[in-house]
Structure 1
Amino acid sequence: MNVVIIDDEPKARKLLEILIKENCSKITSIFTAEDLISGVDIIKKEQPKIVFLDIEMPEHSGLEIFDFIDSASSNFEIIFTTAYSEYAIKAFELSAVDYLLKPLRADKLVDAIEKAIANIGKSHINLKLEELQKSLKSSNFKKIGLPVADGIKFINFEDIILLKADGMYTKVSVHKASELLISKPLKHFETLLESIPTFYRPHRSYLINLKYIQEYCKKDGGYIIMDNNESVSISKDKKDEFLTIVQNIG
């Protein structure tokens, strides 16, 4: 049985390949690709029974696979491998689409493969994928809705530089955009963004996006300078944790 792994992260591809070899004797050949287009080429050539497909990839999302393959002639099952957070997993379940959460576990992998084998040729994966796209789109998966005076502004998670508590309000600094004052407390956003690994709360008054850190200054007890030149305090009990995170990023 042939399978194809499509994932833009080399370590993720290698780990999945190792887990399959160690736990799934029914699978005889494993092919890998770093992007959707090259993965589609392999699928057309090798005719796999199962495709392990990451969703968030450069160029093309895994959800676009049937834009490049004739769904009527696709005789394979898809198992999505994803780091998506819990609130998005509901969309997978409502669409009856199989998925594995990263970091991957061997027991879950075996169960997913057995289920996929049983469903080959009879699960209408292309229809499920259409429903999944609708579900993810309706939940604004890549964005967060911020209530403003004249409506709701949808901002990409990755464009948020930092969030700052202002009483029962929160000031949101956005990359290449004006600061927003939102009538929600910072705790509300901490809960919404807790599963996005780039967000970190170094102080009770701040929630920052680690990708926008410009500098860490040791003086005055230590503080962070963000790319928008705003200084962010660090709580004493968070300093060691923060420095560990920054060192790992580097």
Structure 2
Amino acid sequence: MKAIIIDDEPRARNLLQKMLAEINNISLEVFTAKNLLEGIALIEKEQPKLVFLDIEMPEHSGLEIFNFIKAPVNFKIIFTTAYNQYAIEAFKQNAVDYLLKPIDIDELEKAVEKAQKLISSERLTHQIEDLSKALQKIAINKIALEVPKGILFVAHDDILYFEADGMYTNVFLKNGDKKLICKPLKIFVEQLQEEDLFFKCHRSYLVNLQYVVEFSRKDGDQLIMSNQKSVPISKSNKENFLKVVQQIFG
């Protein structure tokens, strides 16, 4: 993890760098800068996760950092100073911690560990957000089927029909596979209710109209699917089906 020390005193920079190297279980690649503007240039170049920032410096105080930094801010700040009157102002700047000079090694270790936890937590949050966005993109034209070995993401176009099987549902796919899903049919009816090509023809069936090849009155009203399987259509849904067909095919 990259860290930057911004302090106008060479001795303070060197001492803090040495102390950081002595902390167990923490590996930091440390860079140093002698004033705020030099530090900001280094931040933009190295993209650190952690910045140790002195407050009392010539020209610009460390508290002015957000006057120069461009959003978004992707690092945590630990302020370092010999003056405790800056503590409240430092925390207004969303600092992780505030260390008084001379810095105590135990306090330094606690501050770094606190920063690491925050960084890890934010990284996990970002990963979850990225995964959610990716899955939302997938969900535009796909549906998630929970199978025994995991989750199968199936394109709507690859589904022939759904068949209720008690509290389970059989999903018949274009490639000839049949998947038994441990969810009732009504779950899929709700998920696909905005999809015009899926039609609930019977209390036990939800069909993809793309794969209906025939409406047959032989042996009762039935829909013949592209896999040559017959799917019943209830009387209450027959008229709706014929209306849908009329709308789609004119």
Compute the TM-score of the two structures, normalised by the length of structure 1: 0.45
Report which structure shows greater RCO (CA 8 Å, sep ≥6): 1
| TM-score normalised by L of structure 2 | 0.45
